[in-house]
Amino acid sequence: MVKARAARPGTGAKRPELIDKFGRRVDYIRLSVTDRCDFRCVYCMTEEMRFLPRAEVLTLEELHSIAQAFTELGVRRIRLTGGEPLVRSNVMHLIGQLGKLPGLDELLLTTNGNQLGQYAGPLRAAGVNRVNISLDSLDAGRFRRISRVGGLERVLAGIDAAIAAGFDRLRINSVIMRGYNDDEVLPLVEYALARDIDIAFIEEMPLGEASDHDRVETTCSNAWVREQIESRYPLLDSTVRTAGPSRYAQVVGRKSRIGFISPVTHNFCADCNRVRVTVEGRLLLCLGNEHSVDLRAVLRDPARDFDDLKAAITAAMDLKPERHYFYDRDHPQPVRLMNMTGG
Ligand code: SAM
Ligand code: SF4
């Protein structure tokens, strides 16, 4: 098992950088801490799911070693995701440790909000800067239909707890699907505006096969979503960029930012700055391709050490593909579901 060295304070030397062969600097990772979840959202999972056996899942210590290796290689932001990160036992211990990593500018979390009533305060105290919370409907019946098992009231209470905890920013993530919630664009925007929090609309991506619908029929383009918003609120494009792929706009005079993440209709790969690590320790170089490196094998090889882990990560940058090809018949499509990918 690779042991991470004690973190050293900066020496003033130039920080290393991870650069891929297209000249893109990778300074952001999405680290999946579990493939499990307390919901079964229709766009993310099938109804019957088999999850990874425990032996294949990285331990909290291994997750920490990976995060430390990346920060020593110049990564400045880590987003914890899954599956649902807050169902991983002892995840708060890991988060507390990550919050202290030298060189990390921001620790971020994406959650379904179901456990936020309990965890919002401790997450803020542990150093989490920003939280994204998924919310696809404000109607309890529909919320249940989309999440298959979730309860709307509990998630709304979790969002209130997150607002009270005082994170730097909060963002709602909504996937708009034709026939499910396509008449809720304006209510969701108004929910965010009323609370001065951000909202981002994510186009449904063809990651694995959805079991209860045909994605081609349900996917709504963000151009269409934006039209719905502009029918009531003129939007001004914003130059603000956060670490991720969202393009932001603003309603004049309001604090909330409205983000559009449009992987299906607008290829944003040219300025991709991120990679993902699945909870099996697979360093996934692109959301829409299978190019990957097995970091767990390095971590669990008694003959290899922390420097070998860093060397494996550095070498992997050469494998990062130029772009994804969603819905392009000339290219293989991902078979991984989103919970295995780390959203
Ligand atoms: N469980 C957490 C949550 O729901 O926020 C974190 C993991 S989830 C996989 C991360 C994000 O991916 C969520 O905002 C979810 O809506 C989004 N997502 C899942 N499957 C998707 C798909 N096929 N297309 C687009 N977004 C998807
Ligand atoms: Fe769970 Fe998030 Fe996937 Fe929904 S989107 S099933 S909450 S991991």
Residue nearest to atom 3 of ligand 2 (CA): 44
Average of per-residue pLDDT across 124-151? 97
**Ligand minimally distant from the alpha carbon of residue 143:** 2
SS3 of 111, please? strand
- The predicted pLDDT at position 15 comes to 79
Q: Which ligand is nearest to the CA of 32?
A: 1
pLDDT of residue 89: 95
Rounded distance from Cα 93 to ligand 1 centre (Å): 24
More confident residue, 202 or 3: 202
Tell me: pLDDT of 260 over 80.
Answer: yes
Give tens-digit pLDDT for 292-321: 899 999 999 999 999 999 999 999 999 887
Distance 268 CA to ligand 1 centre (A): 18
Mean pLDDT value across residues 74-89: 96
- Ligand 2 atom closest to residue 110's alpha carbon, by position in its atom list: 2
Mutate to test the pocket of ligand 1, among 119, 202, 326, 336 (most ligand atoms within 8 A of CB): 202
Question: Which among 211, 338, 341 is the best mutation to test ligand 1's pocket, defined by most ligand atoms within 8 Å of the CB?
Answer: 338
Which atom of ligand 1 is nearest to 133's Cα?
5
Could you give the C-alpha distances from 171 to 41, 68, 163, 219, in angstroms and in order? 19, 26, 10, 21
Least confident of 122-126, 235-239, 284-288, 296-300: 284-288
Handedness of CA 20, 24, 27, 30 (dihedral sign): negative
Q: Output the residue whose Cα is nearest ligand 1's atom 4.
A: 112
- Whose atoms come closest to the Cα of 341: which ligand? 1
Going by pLDDT thresholds of 50, 70 and 90, the confidence category of residue 178 is: very high
246 pLDDT higher than 90:
no
Q: What is the pLDDT of residues 203-218, one digit of tens each?
A: 998 877 787 888 888 9
Q: Which ligand places an atom closest to the C-alpha of 132?
A: 1
Confidence (pLDDT) at 304: 97
Ligand 1 centroid–CA 201 distance in Å is 11
Nearest Cα residue to 232 out of 205, 262, 252, 211: 252
Going by C-alpha positions, the residue among 150, 128, 131 that lies closest to residue 140 is 150
Whole-number mean pLDDT of the chain?
Answer: 90
Specify the higher pLDDT residue, 339 or 212: 212
The SS3 call for residue 324 is: coil
Best residue among 175, 178, 279 to mutate for probing ligand 1, ranked by most atoms within 8 Å of CB: 175
Confidence of residue 2 (pLDDT cuts 50, 70, 90): low
**In the prediction, which pLDDT does 210 show?**
80
* Pick from 186-195, 240-249, 330-339: least confident: 330-339
Of 65-69, 74-78, 159-163, 338-342, which range is least confident? 338-342
Binned at pLDDT 50, 70 and 90, residue 338 comes out as low
Which atom number of ligand 2 is nearest to the Cα of residue 83? 8
**β-bridge partners, 13:** none
pLDDT beyond 60 at 8: no
Query: Using CA atoms, how far apart are residues 319 and 316, in angstroms rounded to an integer?
Result: 5
Of residues 93 and 4, the one with the higher pLDDT is 93
The C-alpha atoms of residue 73 and residue 70 are separated, in whole angstroms, by 5
Contact present, 275 and 291 (Cβ < 8 Å): no
Ligand 2 binding pocket (C-beta < 6 A) is: 37, 39-41, 44-45, 82-84, 112, 134, 338-339
- Mean pLDDT check: name the lowest of 11-15, 117-121, 257-261: 11-15
Residues flanking ligand 1, CB < 6 Å:
37, 43-44, 81-82, 84, 110-112, 134, 173, 175, 202, 204-205, 207, 338-339, 343
